[in-house]
Amino acid sequence: MGKTLAYKILESHLVDGVIAPGNEITIKIDQTLTQDSTGTMVYLQLEAMNVDKIQTELSVAYIDHNTLQTGFENADDHEFIKSVAKRHGVLFSKPGNGICHQLHLENYGIPGKTLLGSDSHTPTGGGLGMIAIGAGGLDVAVAMAKGTYSMTVPKVLNVELKGQLKPWVSAKDVILYVLKQLTVKGGVGKIIEYTGEGVKTLSVTDRATITNMGAELGATTSLFPSDENTRAYLASQGREKDYVPLSADNDAVFDDVLSVDLSSLTPLAAMPHSPDNVDTIQNIGPIKVNQVAIGSCTNSSYTDLMKVAKILQGKKVHPNISLVISPGSSRILSKLAENGALASMIDSGARIIENACGPCIGMGQSPKSGAVSLRTFNRNFKGRSGTLDADVYLVSPETAAVSAITGVLTDGASSGFPLPKIQPESFNINDNFIVYPENANKENTSVEMGPNIQPFPKNTRLSDTLTGEVVLHTGDNITTDDIMPSDSRLLPYRSNIPYLANYCFEKIDPEFAARCKAVKEGIIVGGDNYGQGSSREHAALAPLYLGIKFVLAKSFARIHRSNLINSGILPLVFEKSSDYDDFKLGQKLVIDNIREQLKNPVIVVKNVNTGKEYKVVTNFSELETEMILAGGKINQINQQ
């Protein structure tokens, strides 16, 4: 029986366990990446572990989220990260160099390697044939310290690509189609592996767009084979020596298969307010647009932006539209300037903003109230743009560019606009934005820590009895943006959990933080797919600071569940989903003899107000149980 590519790579990195779906394994991690909105916590945690030397082949600290520097907080974070990176032999990518995932694809990604990143879109590296996994910051810190990562083996879903994309249909439309088929929770507990004849028609940057948005499926990761297209991409970046051919066996057995006929796809858009709320642009119709934003780690590659530049060339952005473009890297921006494409964009009336995440995470360029914004990004959660009542549509760069000219959502295939063909390019390679930690170590390098950087909260050893009051009752698909908002107002305080905690769940319930402080021991009741979205562990650390003891939900998103466990907060799943309806704000719940009960797959929660008992499922692995008993991962490591 043949093997999938995903299992081949996991097998080659296996440290402990047996590779079979549902088993817990430990794998070797070759590379890590961090970015600055999660990085300060990662490096505070790394320092707390008192590590002398990191164990990875390569670790890179990128600055790409907090680049506005409207106050001292961002700059202090950057200096802190740079100083810790220097102490531990981590490469430091300065602000302005670009977005971590695009940069890692260009400079460091290698087929067959493992990459763990403190950002949910780390699976972008799967476009190169890597096992690239997004995780909470503490998991990344531990991977740097120990060189390993423990995980539950996912199933492998094969997306078989057939045919070839028609003009005006792009890789973005492929992943939007897959999201429509599988939904935002359809990839939970799975690796998405792309195969089929259609694969060879997609470039590495096309593939990276698809694997990037695999995060929106809830998948552990997504990946493509490494083939001649991979070789060509690495050669264009001056790295052909890193090429390794990799693919699944011809007789590989997958847990499930989704077939996609590329030739049947048409331009698509994800409508407000979810990446899986997808329809064809023809069906949605020519709605009036106020803003167009092109960029992000999903669609800021050289090929994407060259298509945009060619569509805009000699034309004028519609007077009712604000068009902003953010290149993915300094290398791409330099090439656009060199070949005149940048001038075409500017001459059309586009605004060029810094090589950074920017508006994708609400860092500037918030649309006007009630606006329609077309974005080439990966998420359109309500309020993520910084404007709560804006309607955000996710589209391809081609659709975004042609719509910026017409002023309405436009299907390029029926627009009459010529579609440009972009030739492959080689790039001028320089590393002027990279700081190398030469001759640095803990003894000769101090840590620079500004006043906004506060220690991360730690839990205590699990007591024999857990009690608390229900402080929030949420609906389905609660995102980490809902739990811990991320925008230009709050992002500078990612290093200050006591301050951030005041804004926890403010979009859902403005009184949440005050209620938690009043009751001191709180419980959250959630619906399906609780905690979907980004990897930010702040969505667990802020509730921990506010005294949350456990979360009862119908189901959890993968990364957030891990972050809760890492923090010592119990993620518990209703055995009967209908029990969710019984709970109200202010009810007091208790779990007696919890340390003993954790030996069982099902434990009992009692509602003190009604006297009713409920069965909840733990599904904790042996390692997860150890962490919970210790009061979190840091406590468990210190005990060891």
Domain boundary residue among 249, 264, 279? 264
Residue 25: what are its φ and ψ, rounded to 5°? -130, 160
Residues 223 and 298 in one domain: no
Q: For the ranges 318-327, 357-366, 436-445, which has the lowest average pLDDT?
A: 436-445
Residues 481 and 617 in one domain: yes
Residue 477's pLDDT band (boundaries 50, 70, 90)?
Answer: very high
CA atoms within 13 A on the CB side of 148: 11
Alpha-carbon Rg for the chain, nearest whole angstrom, is 24
pLDDT value at residue 432: 93
pLDDT at 69: 85
Whole-Å CA distances, 290 to 249, 309, 320, 345? 48, 20, 6, 18
* 382-413 per-position pLDDT tens digit: 999 989 999 999 999 999 999 999 999 999 98
pLDDT digits (tens, 9 = 90+) for 583-607: 999 999 999 999 999 999 999 999 9
**Is the alpha carbon torsion for 565, 571, 575, 577 positive or negative?**
negative
pLDDT band at residue 438 using 50, 70 and 90 as cut-offs: confident
The answer to whether residue 438 is domain-embedded is no
Residue 319 DSSP code: T
Share of the chain above pLDDT 70, in %: 100
Closest to 134 measured CA to CA, from 232, 215, 23? 215
Same domain, 186 and 65: yes
Instruction: Say what the pLDDT of residue 564 is.
Output: 97
Taking phi over 0 as left and psi of -120 to 50 as alpha, with beta for the rest, 97 belongs to alpha
Tell me what pLDDT residue 50 has. Answer: 84
What average pLDDT score do residues 63-74 get?
A: 90
User: Model confidence at 31, in pLDDT bands (50, 70, 90)?
Assistant: very high
Is residue 174 situated within a structural domain? yes
pLDDT at 487 over 90: no
Q: Is residue 448 part of a domain?
A: no
At 285-331, the pLDDT tens digits run 999 999 999 999 999 999 999 999 999 999 999 999 999 999 999 99
Phi, psi of 48 (to 5 degrees): -65, -25
Predicted local confidence at residue 292, as pLDDT: 98
State residue 516's pLDDT score: 97
Residue 189: alpha-carbon gap to chain centroid: 16
Return the pLDDT at 489: 86
Tens of pLDDT, residue by residue over 626-637, are: 999 999 999 998
Give the amino acid at 71: G
Q: Is the pLDDT of residue 260 over 90?
A: yes
Q: Quote the CA–CA distance of 373 and 271 in Å, as a whole number.
A: 10
Tell me which amino acid residue 256 is: D
Residue 444's pLDDT band, with cuts at 50, 70 and 90, is: confident
Range 327-344 average pLDDT:
96
Q: What is the pLDDT of residues 199-232, one digit of tens each?
A: 999 999 999 999 999 999 999 999 999 999 999 9
Same domain for 257 and 278, yes or no, is no
Q: Is residue 419 part of a domain?
A: no
Q: Is residue 30 part of a domain?
A: yes
Is the pLDDT score of 141 beyond 80? yes
Tokens of 181: 């088929």
Mark whether 246 and 362 lie in a shared domain. no
520: domain CATH number?
A: 3.20.19.10
Backbone angles phi, psi at 615, to 5 degrees: -90, 135
537-565 average pLDDT score: 96
From 220, 245, 264, give the residue that closes a domain.
264
pLDDT at 1: 80
Number of domains in the chain: 3
CA distance 24 to 526: 26
| 427 occurs within a structural domain | no
For 20, half-sphere exposure in the C-beta direction (CA atoms, 13 angstrom radius) is: 3
Q: Which residue has the tokens 């195969």?
A: 195
Same domain for 293 and 247, yes or no, is no
Please check whether residues 534 and 385 belong to one and the same domain.
Answer: no
Residue 383 and residue 518 in one domain: no
User: In the listed set 208, 243, 264, which residue is the last one of a domain according to the structure?
Assistant: 264
Lowest-pLDDT range of 316-320, 367-371, 414-418, 595-599:
414-418
How much is the mean pLDDT over the chain?
A: 95
Flag whether pLDDT at 192 surpasses 80: yes
Does the residue 211 lie in any domain? yes
Structure tokens that stand for 616 in this block: 């909840």
Average pLDDT over residues 340-363: 95
- 124 and 256 share one domain: yes
Q: Are residues 237 and 329 in the same domain?
A: no
Q: Are 257 and 312 contained in the same domain? A: no
Mean of the pLDDT values across residues 109-136? Answer: 97
pLDDT at 312: 97
CB distance 7 to 156 below 8 Å: yes
pLDDT of residue 194: 98
* pLDDT (0 to 100) of residue 428: 84
pLDDT at 495: 92
Q: Are residues 276 and 177 in the same domain?
A: no
Q: Which domain holds residue 514?
A: 466-639
3-state secondary structure of 556: strand
Question: With helix as H, strand as E and coil as C, how does 396-444 read?
Answer: CHHHHHHHHHHCECCCHHHCCCCCCCCCCCCCCCCCCCEECCCCCCCCC
Q: Does residue 342 belong to any structural domain of this protein?
A: yes
Residue 301 DSSP SS3:
coil
Question: Which domain CATH number covers 387?
Answer: 3.30.499.10
